[in-house]
Amino acid sequence: MRIVIDVLIIISLFFAFAGTVGLLRMPDFFCRMHSSTNIATLGILGVVIAGILYALIYLGDGSMAVKLGIIGLFNILANPIASHALANGAYKHAKKPIETVEADQYGEDLVEKNE
Amino acid sequence: MIFQEFLFFAVCFIVLAVILLARLLAGPTIADRALAADCIEIVSDMALILFALYSGRGIFLDIALITAVMGFIGTTLIGRYLGGRL
Amino acid sequence: MKKANASSVISTFIVTFIFWMLITGQLSAVFRGQPSVEVLIAGVIVCLLTSLFSAKFFIHEKAFWLLNPARLGSFLLYCCVIFPIELIKANVDVAIKALSPKLNIHPGIVKVPSELKSEYGQAMLANSITLTPGTITLDLAEDLEEEAAATNTAAATTVKETAAAGSGVTPAAGTDGLSKAASGRLYYYIHWLDMKTTDHAEAGEQIKGTMEKHIRRIWE
């Protein structure tokens, strides 16, 4: 059982590392946002599942497991809302069009609506 | 039975958070900094969970939950403000 | 803003009271057989006030939809089997892209049509798309201009016909909020990390995959 918990945490560490590297390397704000989603989903889910297993089997503490479940559920529910709000705000805030994007159908429709 | 490797993994997550500070300092726009702050919050949250498991006290999990709520509210507020809907 | 009815207040009260019991630690006390009555009474008062004032922000449609066993089954199937598989595939894909020495990404913003009628279904599909790495929902728009639809008539009409044939039982007994949402076609604007095509219907096929079919089975 100890091996399973360690493997879950190592998977989570790998995804957090990949997200960090992506956040430093990506050329654009929106591409960086994909890497941040990488951290916030499998990164925290691995730690939370490992923690629930450890709290139930080795500590025998039910309230810690319930709190960990609440943390994981809240992260899963709240992350897309914050991410969507930040992406939308960043798009509206950047006055000039984005260079790295190969096709921008949102900008075309916004221009059409304003005319 | 105490898992000694939880401390090692927590230190690894803290190192990742310190690396993420580079993006917080060098981000060209405001949205980059907000995104990096959100990521630092989540990674330090994971380290806090691991330390709570290592020490066996449930009180650190409350801190982790409050940190997650605060990070969500801050990121959403910055996003809404940048979009001009606040 | 719509008025809150009784069922939405009751469902909000149940959820907030469960959270009260969890956070104050009363749930395990009830199981042990020694709950403290004062904490429970204070919880009932606080949760009733909170749900009276805030129920109209949360529940707009039928509140007790989950009590149907078929819907509950498909909801659990979606949350436990379908969505984690998509999540793990997309996570591995983006991690490999970020760690590969040559950064082969083709970012782009595409416009994807959606067939969902219910507000909760639309929100659930948007959140699922944002939660899978590689795709982010930027905005959500009704079909305002006819010209944009006219440029894509061939694909749009075929999609519409198949949708009409596929969902033979459209929700006739929807609330007024439902029928207002169903008047126009709905579009998502999605930022896609690895853009393969700019065609609306084809991009929708590749991004949504099997998720939209299962979400429609839950909410209709």
Q: How many residues does chain C have?
A: 220
A69 or C175, greater pLDDT: A69
Does a structural domain hold residue B60? Answer: yes
Closest by CA position to A29, among listed C140, B27, C132: B27
Using pLDDT thresholds of 50, 70 and 90, give the confidence band for residue A12. very high
Query: Does residue B81 lie in a domain region?
Result: yes
Q: Number of structural domains, chain A?
A: 1
Q: What tokens does A47 get?
A: 């730690």
Cβ-Cβ contacts under 8 Å, C133 against chain A: 34-35, 37-38, 41
CA atoms within a 13 Å half-sphere pointing along the CA-CB vector of B63: 14
In angstroms, the separation between the Cα of residue B69 and the nearest Cα of chain A is 8
Closest to A98 measured CA to CA, from A113, A110, A82, A84: A110
Overall number of domains in chain B: 1
Q: Which two tokens stand for residue B57?
A: 């006290």
Q: For residue A81, how many other CB atoms are within 10 A of its CB?
A: 17
Residue B62 domain-assigned (yes or no) = yes
Name the residue facing A47 among B46, B80, B83 (closest C-beta): B46
Look up residue A92 and give its two tokens. Answer: 């509206």
Structure tokens at C81: 């089997």
> Is A100 among the domain residues?
no
**Residue A105 located in a structural domain:** no
Please report whether residue A115 resides in a domain: no
The H-assigned helical ranges of chain C are: 6-24, 26-32, 37-58, 69-77, 83-99, 119-131, 146-150, 153-166, 176-181, 200-208, 211-219
| Integer Cα distance of A86 and A34 in angstroms | 12
Q: What is the mean pLDDT of residues B48-72?
A: 88
pLDDT digits 0-9 by tens, C162-192: 344 333 333 333 333 333 444 567 888 888 8
Q: Yes or no: say if B68 and B61 are a contact pair by the CB < 8 Å rule.
A: no
Token reading at C214: 């299962």
The enclosing H or E element of B17 equals: helix B5-26
In a domain, B65, yes or no: yes
The answer to whether residue C148 scores a pLDDT higher than 70 is no
pLDDT digits (tens, 9 = 90+) for C102-118: 887 888 888 888 888 77
Rounded distance between C-alpha atoms, residue B4 and residue A54, angstroms: 13
Rounded to a whole number of angstroms, the distance from the CA of A12 to the nearest CA of chain B is 9
Give percent above pLDDT 70 in chain A.
95
Question: How far apart, in Å, are the Cα atoms of C152 and each of B13, C149, C164, C218?
Answer: 48, 5, 18, 29
Show the domain range for A64: 2-95
Which residue from A34, A81, A106 is facing C94, i.e. has the nearest CB?
A34
Q: Which residue of B has its CA nearest to A35?
A: B39
Q: Per-residue pLDDT averaged across A30-36, rounded?
A: 88
Task: Tell me which residue in A25, A31, A84 faces C130 most closely, judged by beta carbons.
Answer: A84
Q: Is the pLDDT of residue A90 over 70?
A: yes
- The answer to whether the CB of C140 falls within 8 A of the CB of A87 is no
User: Comparing C-alpha atoms, which of C19, C9, C124, C127 is closest to residue C63?
Assistant: C9
Partners of residue A88 in chain C, C-beta under 8 Å: 138-139
Average pLDDT over residues B53-71: 87
**The pLDDT of residue C14:** 87
Q: Does A67 contact B62 at a Cβ distance shorter than 8 Å? A: yes
What CA–CA distance (Å, rounded) separates B64 from C205? 39
Q: For all residues of chain A together, what is the average pLDDT?
A: 85
Residue B66 lies in a domain: yes
Contact by Cβ (8 Å): B58, A61: yes
Instruction: Tell whether the model's pLDDT for residue C145 goes beyond 60.
Output: no
Question: With bands split at pLDDT 50, 70 and 90, how would you rate the model's confidence at A15?
Answer: very high
Domain range for B35 = 30-86
Are A78 and B72 a contacting pair at CB < 8 A?
yes
Mutate to test the interface with A, among C78, C91, C99, C142 (most CBs of A within 10 A): C91
Give the whole-number percent of chain C exceeding pLDDT 70: 75
Looking at the complex, report in whole angstroms how far the Cα of residue A70 sits from the nearest Cα belonging to chain B: 8
Say yes or no to pLDDT of A34 above 70. Answer: yes
C-beta neighbour count of B72 within 10 angstroms: 20
